[in-house]
Amino acid sequence: MNHKHLALPILLVVACQLLPSFEAGLELGAPGTLSVDEIRASLKEADAHKVFVPVGPVGMPADLSDYIPADNQMTKAKVELGRQLYFDPRLSGDGTIACASCHHPDMGWTDNAAFSTGIHGHITGVGAPTVMNRILGSTQFWDGRAGTLELQAEGPVAAPGEMGFTWDAAEELCREIEGYELQFQAVFGASATKLTITQAMATFERTVFAGGSPYDHFERATPFYSLDMEEGLDMEEEADAELIARYEEAMKGEDDHPMTEASKRGRELFFGKASCSACHVGPDLSDEQFHNIGIGQQGEEPFLGRFAVTGDEADRGATKTPGLHNIADSAPYMHDGSEATLVEVILHYNRGGMNEDGTTSSHLSDKIFKLNLTGEEIYDLAEFLEQGLSGTVTSVEIPRLP
């Protein structure tokens, strides 16, 4: 076999894996492929309008009812409508951009780019965060300027550089397409409005989870190790029987989703020496607060972050702590995509948030300091982020559209 002939195809395969943008465009919903009859039938299904609370994978809070706004309860028909709208490029000025263009399931619910590309090739000023686990978010956007997913969704549709549409046109479109009109009538009892369009989109987003990672299974199993499960339990007692069932489930989960040894050491560092958990805590490893960690703070126009919302000096350059489930899927990292890999992220923290030229941001959080991690510790921490935190992401099919 001639090695010269092998080299090119291998190079091409490697290049395509490294550069997702080489692939033909991301798949969005195809208009006109879902018939009115099919929509009528699905709206008549027994459970279509039954209010439900989603159940997340292992690691998510067991009861998510507090995370759903009282005025926007979830039903299967509403999720389905939201899924269609989320993938529908007709909600943009030139019919090419949908929410999914920048937050795509194939790309960790983001676009794997430092900055996103909106309508007419316009490049956004910050990177698209993931849509996974947003149900847990108490604010939305890097600076938290939207309090809810409903209010967040108002932005991109009308933003000239994102979907470049108007809300009047969006409402009209949803009223004119019979399949949408039928769904809005059945779900909200009226034709589409800006409010109900964003409510449907937000409801869909609340079904997108990442969890069930080796770390989540490890955390679920850990409390049982302090209980002596083998002895002292009365198998006849009902309470004990339930505990034993939970124990066995937790043990099986851990066996099926083991953390590697390096990942376990990385976890110790994350919650210990590396002090990541000073900000990355809670079910999705975010404190939902804002901190200046020294990203995008150089140059003529340093990123304002939370300051833009509060006008409070203490918030200058402070960004919302992102969740970390399945973080390996959503490179590059940070609001400006300035860190290409998880190791680079760790090196930034290891330098104490210092810029590469040795300068420091004037409003750096006091929770950021030099970590003195060894090479091996950096590797272990990266393994935790990559192996330990990668679990199952809700599988969502690209919808057919009315």
Check residue 99 for interaction with ligand HEC (CB under 6 A).
yes
Please tell me the distance from the alpha carbon of residue 64 to that of residue 135, in angstroms, as a whole number: 9
Residue of 73, 275, 355, 392 that binds ligand HEC (CB under 6 A) = 275
Residue of 84, 112, 152, 387 that binds ligand HEC (CB under 6 A) = 152
Please tell me the distance from the alpha carbon of residue 339 to that of residue 320, in angstroms, as a whole number: 16
Check residue 370 for interaction with ligand HEC (CB under 6 A).
no
Binding to ligand HEC by CB under 6 A, coded x per residue (else -) over 316-345, reads ---x-xx-x--x--x--xxx------x--x
Q: Which is nearer to ligand HEC, 180 or 333 (CB)?
A: 333
Total residues binding ligand HEC (CB under 6 A): 53
CB 97 within 8 A of CB 116: no
373-398 CB burial, b ≥16 within 10 A, e <16: beeebbbbbbbbbbbbbbbbbbebeb
Please tell me the distance from the alpha carbon of residue 176 to that of residue 171, in angstroms, as a whole number: 9
Long-range contacts of 283-286 (CB under 8 A, 24+ apart): 283/59, 283/60, 283/61, 283/133, 283/136, 284/133, 284/136, 284/323, 284/324, 284/325, 285/323, 285/324, 285/325, 285/389, 286/136, 286/137, 286/320, 286/321, 286/322, 286/323, 286/324
CB of 152 to ligand HEC, least distance (A): 5
Binding to ligand HEC by CB under 6 A, coded x per residue (else -) over 5-44, reads ----------------------------------------
Residue of 72, 124, 213, 326 that binds ligand HEC (CB under 6 A) = 124
Q: Which is nearer to ligand HEC, 127 or 211 (CB)?
A: 127
Region from 38-46, 165-173, 224-232, 271-279 binding ligand HEC, contact rule CB under 6 A:
271-279
CB of 395 to ligand HEC, least distance (A): 19
Q: Which is nearer to ligand HEC, 160 or 223 (CB)?
A: 160
Check residue 68 for interaction with ligand HEC (CB under 6 A).
no
Residue of 87, 109, 142, 209 that binds ligand HEC (CB under 6 A) = 142
CB 387 within 8 A of CB 295: no
Check residue 203 for interaction with ligand HEC (CB under 6 A).
no
Check residue 214 for interaction with ligand HEC (CB under 6 A).
no
CB-neighbour burial class of residue 320 (10 A; exposed 0-12, middle 13-18, buried 19+): buried
CB atoms within 10 A of CB 33: 11
CA dihedral sign, ordered 224, 229, 233, 234:
positive
Residue of 78, 257, 267, 280 that binds ligand HEC (CB under 6 A) = 280
186-199 CB burial, b ≥16 within 10 A, e <16: bbbeeebbbebbbb
CB of 323 to ligand HEC, least distance (A): 8
CB atoms within 10 A of CB 159: 15
Check residue 101 for interaction with ligand HEC (CB under 6 A).
yes
Check residue 387 for interaction with ligand HEC (CB under 6 A).
no
Which residues here bind ligand HEC, judged by CB under 6 A?
97, 99, 101-103, 116, 118, 124, 126-129, 131, 134, 137, 140-142, 149, 152-153, 156-157, 162-163, 201, 274-276, 278-280, 291, 293, 295, 319, 321-322, 324, 327, 330, 333-335, 342, 345-346, 349, 365, 367-368, 381, 385
